[in-house]
Amino acid sequence: MVDMENKILIPIWEHCDPAVSAAIRQFEERWQPYSQSSQRYPIVGLIKDVIDPAVAAYLRNLPEGFTGFIPGAVPGVGFSKIIRLVGLEAMLRVQRQLLRQFIMTEDQQTARNQSFVATLESLIELVLACMCKRPQSSSAEKGVNLNNQRKHGYCECCGNLTEFSTFISTVAEEQINDVELEEHNKLELSDKYCVGHKPKLTTGEWNPAYRQAKRSLTQFNIELARLTRQCAKRSEVSAKSGDKLIDEYFYHFMLNLTIQPADHAELRNLARKMVDSKLSDTKKKMLALQKLGFNQTEIGQRLLNVNHQPMTRQAVSKALASVRKEFLL
């Protein structure tokens, strides 16, 4: 998230523990020169100074059964020490796995549980932001004179990293110091699209996948918003699509998944699959009605076709048969 002054903000979830929330905001105020690749300003050191005390204090007030779901609960092994031992990426995976386990086994939607989940989600957002944080002033590796201050992040059309972000990550993680690229090739790395959705192919021709994704970009963003809202409050009907049956579909669909709001890439790829597979709102309504126990004839009577006439049983059957297995309820 970026504010009006282009300052990166770390998302803090509603109901997050106040002390942890305050620590994240303090961290945010100080983290400008820090990054995981900086020797002078290592971001793990800032986590130790600012976040560790807040997490430790929060852990002391948790019931014993909760502490196993948050990294840093072992005495003498703080939040930052785990990051130092396993790295930010592995830490993110651990956090997500522990959160999934809590939701699947312990979560009872009480106020305390909601606060616990919100606190875990906020710490996940913190680690994710640290992974994406670039040095305040930096250059790419030797022989790779890319502008490292260009936008990093996901492709506009899916959950893959942009071509530029993927390359920078490869350089940073694999230490490709001797990579030599011609200047014009460097500048062609897209900071808006992944390799699959890059506007033009290496042959110079327009990429059909790009054109298809751009045509459906509005629907992609709609589906992503619905998935994100429902994912955040999966115990309630929360998609807010404007239609009760569509909301009902997303409610039942998300109950079958363990994906979390912090799983940005997974949510974006899921939205892209929905759009590419032509899972229309009408099909979602059919699936919701089917889940509620209506047969195909009854479903057709409740839904209108393009001519504002009840749909036939055959039309309903054909539409349902075209739905991918992964989107069935």
Q: 267: Cβ–Cβ under 8 A, 6 or more apart, which residues?
A: 159, 224, 227, 228, 231, 259, 261
Same domain, 125 and 85: yes
Burial zone of 181 (CB within 10 Å; 0-12 exposed, 13-18 middle, 19+ buried): middle
At 18-29, the pLDDT tens digits run 999 999 999 999
Same domain, 269 and 285: yes
Q: How confident is the model at residue 170 (pLDDT cuts 50, 70, 90)?
A: low
Instruction: Indicate the residue among 159, 175, 205 that finishes a domain.
Output: 205
The domain tally of the chain equals: 3
Same domain, 116 and 152: no
Assess whether pLDDT exceeds 60 at residue 197.
yes
At 202-253, the pLDDT tens digits run 888 999 999 999 999 999 999 998 998 888 777 789 898 999 999 999 999 9
Closest CA to 272 of 154, 165, 124: 154
Whether 8 is covered by a domain: the verdict is no
Whether 4 is covered by a domain: the verdict is no
Q: How far apart are CA 184 and CA 189, in angstroms?
A: 9
Range of the domain at 271: 217-327
pLDDT of residue 169: 60
pTM recorded for the entire structure: 0.61
Same domain, 191 and 246: no
Whether 2 is covered by a domain: the verdict is no
Whether 69 is covered by a domain: the verdict is yes
Whether 157 is covered by a domain: the verdict is yes
Is the CB of residue 320 less than 8 Å from the CB of residue 286? yes
